[in-house]
Amino acid sequence: EESKKIVIKMDYNLPQAKQIKIRDSTSNRGQRVVVCGWVHRHRVQGKDLMFIWLRDGTGFLQCVLTGQMCHTYNAVTLQLESTVSLYGTLKEVPAGKTAPGGHELQVDYWELIGAAPGGDEAITNKISAEASPDLLYDQRHLVIRGDTASAVLRLRHATLRGFRAFFDKKGLYEVTPPLMVQTQVEGGSTLFHFQYYGEEAYLTQSSQLYLETCLPALGDVYCITESFRAEKSHTRRHLAEYTHIEAELAFITFNDLLDFLEDMVCSVVDFVLASKEAPYFKELHKDFVPPKRPFRRMDYSDGIKWLNDNGIKKEDGSDYVFGDDIPEAPERKMTDAIGEPIMFCRFPVEIKSFYMKRDPKDTKLTESVDVLIPNVGEIVGGSMRISDLAELLAAYKREGIDPSPYYWFTDQRKYGTCEHGGFGLGLERFLAWMLNRYTVRDCCLYPRFPGRAQP
Ligand code: 4AD
């Protein structure tokens, strides 16, 4: 009650404060500044001293409040996550003390902008470490303020920049294909259907077919957009909506495609480790070791042999045989045992997508590749594409696909075909690997998976 009567006033005789972001603290040492942000932590020490660790997204700043400034109603009731503006002088921290950036703000005046609740509603109750994963996904809009989740989002940003930098260096154009489509790419079972002005349409599973149409217009191209999969499986590597990084390259061989993939994965890792976000690895995966080149290249048929030699059996106890789709669990067992990235190549035609080119040396096989990574499994799916019109028409037929909505795709084989190939990489899986996260759900902003479409 006493504190309600206490007011503090700005001293207008002081130099005018310049508003800054925390990242610019060093260049403003010795200056009077105003910094706005969220109360990340705070501590009261005795009667006349209070520390606030302020967060503004660009960094953290230790702020020191003294005397009457600690006695106001807003000061004694201050809760975490409240927003404040703090006026004061930036000083180097005294010798022997540490603080983020090595400086602190000696506050001479402050204002509360938005008070956050305490008690049951306090942020610490909303996102407590004991809460179940499901409750935490309900509160993800608050969880992302925390050190771990925000570190993942920052490194996600660096990774996206890494991919764009790599594609740019290789001379690819970025395009943004539509996400509302009327053709499938990866089979009917994972399509999200919706009504589009009275017509049947889907959310895209992959932008690959559109990228192929861009080759004659722009040359090599890429896109980074969402793909959607109505997966029924609740696994730690499946999302219903994920960020798909896809590229398509003209006049290449299968080997060129494999080399490109290896170069891309290694270059992006190097980019991220050299980025200004790299220090956030400490929070997440401090022992991360970049993969070594060259990646191991292994044919599907040798993979089947590896499973048999190592006693990995099917669910019914029988051996894997040529033609089997290798499910997630045995695939991961193999990858974890080998302990390094594998380019798993040349899958049989029957278990792969309709558009894949056959291996000229063995037409039972496709020129296809999955990049497998320890702890996560498949992070990339790619292949050479059918370049012959008659072969494409036969593939539609074999897969029971009505060719009419694909007329624009078919035209690519009619109006100047070319040997070409490409791939799709799931950004969240790449991040789960690099940042050592248990699930892809923690590698995106607001995950979408069965039973969850909010926040
Ligand atoms: O192997 P997929 O299905 O291949 C394609 O979609 C090709 N059309 C891509 C292309 O060649 N342009 O998917 C490619 C990658 C997978 O390796 C995986 O990393 C990711 O997309 N992915 C998923 N990530 C999260 N949740 C899911 N449900 C995913 N489905 C695929």
Ligand 1: centre distance to CA 425 (Å): 6
Sheet holding 296-299, edge to edge: 173-174, 221-228, 241-250, 420-426, 377-384, 368-373, 342-345, 296-299
**Is any ligand 1 atom within 6 A of the Cβ of residue 50?**
no
pLDDT, tens digit, 9 for 90 and up, residues 143-171: 999 999 999 999 999 999 999 999 999 99
The C-alpha atoms of residue 178 and residue 180 are separated, in whole angstroms, by 6
The pLDDT assigned to 323 comes to 95
- At position 112, the amino acid (one-letter code) is L
Strands 296-299 and 342-345: parallel
The angle subtended at Cα 426 by Cα 395 and Cα 205, nearest 5°, is 40
Could you read off the pLDDT of 265-282 as tens digits, one per residue?
999 999 999 999 999 998
- Give the dihedral of Cα atoms 83, 88, 91, 94; nearest 10 deg: -80
2-121 and 136-443: same fold? no
**What's the ipTM?**
0.99
Pocket of ligand 1 contains residue 55 by CB under 6 Å: no
Confidence of residue 443 (pLDDT cuts 50, 70, 90): very high
pLDDT at position 1 is: 67
Q: How far apart are CA 178 and CA 226, in angstroms?
A: 10
| Segment 50-89, tens digit of pLDDT | 999 999 999 999 999 999 999 999 999 999 999 999 999 9
Please report the beta strands in 76-175, taking only residues with DSSP state E, as ranges in sequence order.
Answer: 83-92, 103-114, 173-174
Average pLDDT, the chain: 96
Instruction: Tell me the mean pLDDT in the region 375-384.
Output: 96
What is the pLDDT at residue 234?
85
Contacts of 78 (CB under 8 A, 6+ apart): 39, 42, 52, 84, 112, 115
Average pLDDT over residues 30-34: 97
Which residues does 253 contact at the CB level (< 8 Å), separation at least 6? 384, 419
Whole-number percent of the chain with pLDDT over 70? 100
pLDDT, mean of residues 202-224: 98
Predicted confidence band of residue 360 (pLDDT cuts 50, 70, 90): very high
Residues 126, 142 contacting (CB under 8 angstroms): yes
Domain assignments of the chain as residue spans, ordered by start: 2-121, 136-443
Cβ–ligand 1 contact at 208 (below 6 Å): yes
For residue 423, report the distance from its CA to the centre of ligand 1, in Å: 9
Per-residue model confidence (pLDDT) at position 142: 96
Choose the CATH number for 136-443 among 3.20.20.300, 3.50.50.60, 3.30.590.10, 3.30.930.10.
3.30.930.10
Q: 381 C-alpha to center of ligand 1: Å?
A: 6
- Ligand 1 pocket check for 82: Cβ under 6 Å: no
pLDDT of residue 25: 96
**211 CA from centroid of ligand 1 (Å):** 15
Confidence of residue 219 (pLDDT cuts 50, 70, 90): very high
The whole-number pLDDT of residue 256 equals 98
- Residues 2-121, CATH architecture: Beta Barrel (2.40)
Which residue owns the Cα nearest ligand 1 atom 6?
206
pLDDT band at 42 (very low <50, low <70, confident <90, very high): very high
Per-residue pLDDT tens digits for 174-201: 999 999 999 999 988 999 999 999 999 9
Please tell me the least confidently modeled range out of 104-113, 153-162, 313-322: 313-322
- From the CA of 424, how far away is ligand 1's center (Å)? 6
Confidence at residue 111, expressed as pLDDT on a 0 to 100 scale: 97
The reply to whether the predicted model has a pTM over 0.90 is: yes
Kindly tell me if the per-residue pLDDT of 9 is higher than 80.
yes
